[in-house]
Structure 1
Amino acid sequence: MRRQKKQLELGTRIEFWARSIDEKADEFPFRILDQGKQVLWAVKRFSEFPEFYSYHHREACEVELEWNEGVTDFTWAYAYNPRSVSKTGITVLEFGEHLVERTGPEIDAWCASDPQRPRLHFSPVKHWMNDPNGLCKIGDVWHLFYQFHPAGTDWGPMHWGHATSRNLCEWLHMPVFLHPEQNLARLGATGGAFSGSAFRGRDGKVKFYYTERLPAYDLFAGYREIQKIAEPGRDLIEPERITTVLEVRPEGVEHDFRDPKVWWDGAARAYRMILGASIDGDPAVLLYGSGDGLEWQYLGPLYRAPARFRAEGARAVECPDFFRLEDKWVLVMGFVGHIEPTTGRHNLLYALIGEFAGDRFVPDAPELQLLDFGTDYYAMQSFEAEGRQIAFAWLFNWEYRKPEGSAYSGEMSLPRVLSLNEDKSKICMLPAIEVDERYVAIPVAPDRSGDYALPSAPIEIRLSGPLQGSKLVATEGGELAFEVSVAGDILSIRLAQDDGSIRYVAELGGGKDLRLFHDRGIVEIFADGGAVCGTRRGYANIEPDRLEISSSASAQVFEKLAK
């Protein structure tokens, strides 16, 4: 047994997920003892399945932690004091030969020591992350929640991870906020606390509407999804109350019924909510209404995709977003399972711009706008704060996976600010000003085309002027890292992992500006004032050392370093 003394404050909580890795292990492989060796708290026996455990310390004193790492796998563990966690974040615990503790800057330093972890983009300390959830700003603190699996680096029973920031770029890691309502690993099932969004009521209080997928034994059919409200306690550490508000699906809607977005409709003087689903097999967005935010009535489809999407493999809409932008309404959707036949791309995100009145959404044009021509910008969620519509998305593509041995999987995009172009026919996305305020741009190349050495750091490339015929080629040890080109008014990107079977392209037209961020395998492109965006995530040659620029436009290359 390993033993280590630790001073605990009154109210300290230790939370962890653990499983047994030895069926013949002795009893009590984990104990917390007081100074007189009396047991304060103990686990008699861990099961073969990862389970959540929580200890609440009731008196300020020194304790002795006792554990056996040879028979127990502690997949994710941390400590915190509810009175100070909003300022300090959690203390990550590792129960190995010794107890290792990391808080705040120590966590950041540990993450930065990973040579494959991007520096500008948010990622979890450990394990699996996907969709951004519950985005909001309360006071001067930004809150990012996200889909999280605390027991491994692959997708599994869903929880909500949580991080906070004061500048949208530096993040404090917080306690897990939402848990599945049952231990799904023990049930041999998947599901849990799926995606949702924040809603600030007229009383000023923030609530989180989200989907719970009940224990599921088939990933593609037959599962049940219900809608809940989580009402947070102090500092949004944990919910004080969780209420189920919608269980019954409309006729024609099968298992996909999820990802609520809620708002107050001033004209109707009532609450409105959308959900992603399908109607008789067609991907669709459902509209609901409520007088109190608790009892919901189905008002009909807000949008139903053309039949071609079902023919091209789309199963349902997920992660829909619906919001007012300037004097228009915008609907954003992902189509599960869809493959674009002309390019082979999947995981694409689409949008419509139009008018919303009388519970009807009328697009200005029927054509869907492709929000990002890469396939690694997905499950985007936006929220309004300080007069800006700010968005994050999950940077991932099921086509490619992180190399084995990584401590985590999944990153978030840079924060983006949404706007409309001059004639209000397109949504534009550009990095939030906080990105430039936090990461200073240090020139590493003169204002011209050429072949340049690159630093071992994130870079930004800016082109200004005619882009036709431009080509950017980054290599690592002579091998391709990424190539971006403009030919025949088509903007394209290619990574080292691409075999040509999928084409990542967009019509650029007469765009005369381009910004490209590269951050250890992540490429985010913003062209034509953000009207054309493209995001890719690669895992080969992620530290390019040479860059060749060929362009008639003015070209600048910057190293991006934290201030």
Structure 2
Amino acid sequence: MKQNLFLPSGYRLEFWAAGDGFLRINIDGKTVWQIPSFAIHPEFFKYHHREACEVTIVTNAPDAVLWAYGYQPQTVNETGITVFEFSDRGILQRTGAEIENWLRSDPDRPALHFSPIRHWMNDPVGLCKIGDTWHMFYQFHPSGSGWGPMHWGHATSRDLVNWLHMPVFLHPEQNLWRLGATGGAFSGNAFRDRDGSLMFFYTERLPAYDLFKGYREIQKLARPDRRMIKAEGIVTVLEQRPDGVEHDFRDPKVWWDDAANAYRMVLGASMEGDPAVLLFGSGDGLEWQYLRPLYRAPVNFRQEGARAVECPDFFRLEDKWVLVMGFVGHVEPRTRRHNLLYALIGEFVDDCFVPDTPELQLLDFGTDYYAMQSVESDGRQIAFAWLFNWEYRKPEGSSYSGEMSLPRVLSLSEDRKRLRMLPAMEVDEHLVADLIVEDKSGTFSLPKGPIEIRLSGALEGSKLVATQGGELAFEVSVADGILSIRLAQDDGSIQYVAELGCGKDLRLFHDRGIVEIFADGGSVCGTRRGYANIEPDHLDISSSASAQVLERYSK
């Protein structure tokens, strides 16, 4: 394959490749950059073009290029990356709207939920807002649609709904593919210091050869370059684990604590086998000391398979402190649900978190809303989570894996006993809502694409059944005060249920296999990700509540 391209001065080409073959870049017939031979394992390459001119890219193995993009640093924040697709026919380039139209042409890809252009994505990380721009980073595997050595992908948005794809922001410390190992740049948060400087704290999992034991995790600090394109100035800030902590020691959340006049960090861990959240302190953000466990799970969690706490989020909300955490490996005995997300509300005084009640709030009863991260901005606590089905995997052949939830705003219930989650106002401001059904039950034809269902009034006895070609897509019902959801692939061995009580409102978004439910003012939420019958064509509504059905799509 040989192709001529004009590249402006300063242009960057970045790609991952593996396999037999070579790639070189020529100017006026002379080679100015080359890879004489690709390795058998994936490797990262970057080319910096110095002079505006035409180049010739030559390779005898276009299929060896696993993921490639280009950008000009001076303009990438306005245009995003240009995707380079290598094939025997040449290099196809797409930028901005061309990328979005290309992604929307995939009938299996959700339209309202963020997903990577290609390959594997999981936890949201480093969520922050700079000026008018939201930055969402995410764990990303750039060489395949399965989980692998972790990097930080990056996307930006002005409205939390429409996203611009950016260059990979953060790379592992070393090439883990070369070692036959996993690990890399795991989860962490964005922290703005008192002087306004922005930094990212994150976990680096060093080369790992077992997913369940024997690995080493350390905490690092990175600063963004002046254009928010790449991480730089990376330093290790915490290596030593407290006594009783083996290998799970990750996912920092850092803040400045006025009461302590010092920095504070929480980390997810396992302490003597119990899932735990650990509290650390620092006077300068670089040297950290272990203070105490912030939270240690009751023994039943360990007995029920929980290995550790992951992705703890700890933040002040109104006059309370909220702790959100996932228990990886946990299986709830009664319902058989996996890896549930929980919240506690309480007080944080003298570095001690005292929950108002020891009872954990189940934050999302559907299990597929995981690794939630939130950030405070302009008086709101905004959250995203990774949507992942722990029981079923995406069908073979998909070019990507992983989606993010809709943006949610967090608040406390009126009695201040529960954490509530509702779609951020940007969802209604920037997604069109065309009315299909109003104020009635019955059976209705559905358009192709995302829909929203709203119920207002007494929910007891309500049932929503969506089908595709007569086969179940999803069913949501309220019976005896219990809200439940069932998807096409469910065989009944797991119960996705929540106590609703006398809730009188429900919003449901369906987006090509993603179901997000918000009931009782957001006090009860449920999220599922399915892969069968993801384009329902009929909806049956049976409810004494007032019902609306809306078609939702981007403006």
The correspondence for 2:112, drawn from 112, 120, 124, is 120
**One-letter code of the match for 1:31?**
R
String of CA shifts for 1:526-563, please: whole Å, max 9, x gaps: 00000000000000000000000000000000001222
Cα pair 1:351 1:371 within 8 Å, conserved: yes
Whether 1:295 aligns to 2:287 is yes
**One-letter code of the match for 1:10?**
S
Query: Counterpart of 1:94?
Result: 85
Cα pair 2:182 2:207 within 8 Å, conserved: yes
Query: Counterpart of 1:42?
Result: 34
Look up the SS of the partner of 1:434 in the other structure: helix
Query: Counterpart of 1:377?
Result: 369
The 2-side partners of 1:336 and 1:405 are apart by 28
Query: Counterpart of 1:226?
Result: 218
**One-letter code of the match for 2:433?**
A
**One-letter code of the match for 1:87?**
E
Whether 1:405 aligns to 2:405 is no
The 2-side partners of 1:240 and 1:300 are apart by 31
Query: Counterpart of 1:538?
Result: 530
The correspondence for 1:268, drawn from 248, 260, 272, is 260
Query: Counterpart of 1:5?
Result: 4
Whether 1:554 aligns to 2:536 is no
1:59 Cα deviation from its structure 2 partner: 1.0
**One-letter code of the match for 1:380?**
M
**One-letter code of the match for 1:493?**
I
Cα pair 2:304 2:333 within 8 Å, conserved: yes
Query: Counterpart of 2:306?
Result: 314
- 1:28-67 equivalences in 2 (<5 Å): 29-35=22-28, 37-67=29-59
Query: Counterpart of 2:76?
Result: 85
Query: Counterpart of 2:315?
Result: 323
1:102 Cα deviation from its structure 2 partner: 0.5
1:38 Cα deviation from its structure 2 partner: 0.8
Query: Counterpart of 2:347?
Result: 355
The 2-side partners of 1:559 and 1:42 are apart by 50
The 2-side partners of 1:143 and 1:271 are apart by 23
Look up the SS of the partner of 1:87 in the other structure: helix
String of CA shifts for 1:107-166, please: whole Å, max 9, x gaps: 101100100000000000000000000000000000000000001000000000000000
Query: Counterpart of 1:209?
Result: 201
Q: How many residues are aligned here?
A: 554
1:234 Cα deviation from its structure 2 partner: 1.8
1:420 Cα deviation from its structure 2 partner: 0.3
1:397 Cα deviation from its structure 2 partner: 2.1
Query: Counterpart of 1:75?
Result: 66
Cα pair 1:67 1:95 within 8 Å, conserved: no
The correspondence for 2:511, drawn from 494, 498, 519, is 519
The 2-side partners of 1:178 and 1:115 are apart by 31
Query: Counterpart of 1:445?
Result: 437
The 1-side partners of 2:227 and 2:464 are apart by 46
The 2-side partners of 1:497 and 1:138 are apart by 41
Cα pair 1:347 1:397 within 8 Å, conserved: no
The 2-side partners of 1:31 and 1:472 are apart by 57
**One-letter code of the match for 1:263?**
W
Look up the SS of the partner of 1:108 in the other structure: helix
**One-letter code of the match for 1:75?**
L
If the length of structure 1 is used for normalisation, what is the TM-score?
0.98
**One-letter code of the match for 1:4?**
Q
**One-letter code of the match for 1:340?**
E
Look up the SS of the partner of 1:234 in the other structure: coil
The 2-side partners of 1:410 and 1:514 are apart by 26
Query: Counterpart of 2:332?
Result: 340
Question: Gaps (5+ residues) in structure 2?
Answer: none
Look up the SS of the partner of 1:65 in the other structure: strand
State, as a whole percentage, how many aligned pairs show the same letter: 74
- 1:145-160 equivalences in 2 (<5 Å): 145-160=137-152
1:445 Cα deviation from its structure 2 partner: 1.3
1:68 Cα deviation from its structure 2 partner: 1.8
Look up the SS of the partner of 2:247 in the other structure: coil
1:235 Cα deviation from its structure 2 partner: 2.1
**One-letter code of the match for 1:30?**
L
**One-letter code of the match for 1:471?**
K
Cα pair 2:338 2:390 within 8 Å, conserved: no
Whether 1:474 aligns to 2:463 is no
Cα pair 2:66 2:144 within 8 Å, conserved: yes
Cα pair 2:477 2:485 within 8 Å, conserved: yes
Whether 1:237 aligns to 2:229 is yes
Cα pair 2:453 2:507 within 8 Å, conserved: yes
The 2-side partners of 1:272 and 1:441 are apart by 43
The correspondence for 1:142, drawn from 128, 134, 143, is 134
**One-letter code of the match for 2:27?**
D
String of CA shifts for 1:479-509, please: whole Å, max 9, x gaps: 0000000000000000000000000000000
If the length of structure 2 is used for normalisation, what is the TM-score?
0.99
The 2-side partners of 1:268 and 1:219 are apart by 37
1:85 Cα deviation from its structure 2 partner: 0.4
**One-letter code of the match for 2:74?**
R
Look up the SS of the partner of 2:528 in the other structure: strand
Query: Counterpart of 1:429?
Result: 421
**One-letter code of the match for 1:94?**
E
1:358 Cα deviation from its structure 2 partner: 0.2
The 2-side partners of 1:242 and 1:455 are apart by 49
Look up the SS of the partner of 1:256 in the other structure: strand
1:69 Cα deviation from its structure 2 partner: 2.7
1:73 Cα deviation from its structure 2 partner: 1.4
The 2-side partners of 1:73 and 1:541 are apart by 34
Cα pair 2:389 2:530 within 8 Å, conserved: no
Look up the SS of the partner of 1:235 in the other structure: coil
**One-letter code of the match for 2:25?**
I
**One-letter code of the match for 1:96?**
S
1:457 Cα deviation from its structure 2 partner: 1.5
1:447 Cα deviation from its structure 2 partner: 1.3
**One-letter code of the match for 2:184?**
G
Question: Gaps (5+ residues) in structure 1?
Answer: none
Query: Counterpart of 2:18?
Result: 19
The 1-side partners of 2:379 and 2:302 are apart by 37
Query: Counterpart of 2:491?
Result: 499
Look up the SS of the partner of 2:227 in the other structure: helix
1:240 Cα deviation from its structure 2 partner: 2.2
Query: Counterpart of 1:483?
Result: 475
Cα pair 2:111 2:553 within 8 Å, conserved: no
Look up the SS of the partner of 2:254 in the other structure: strand
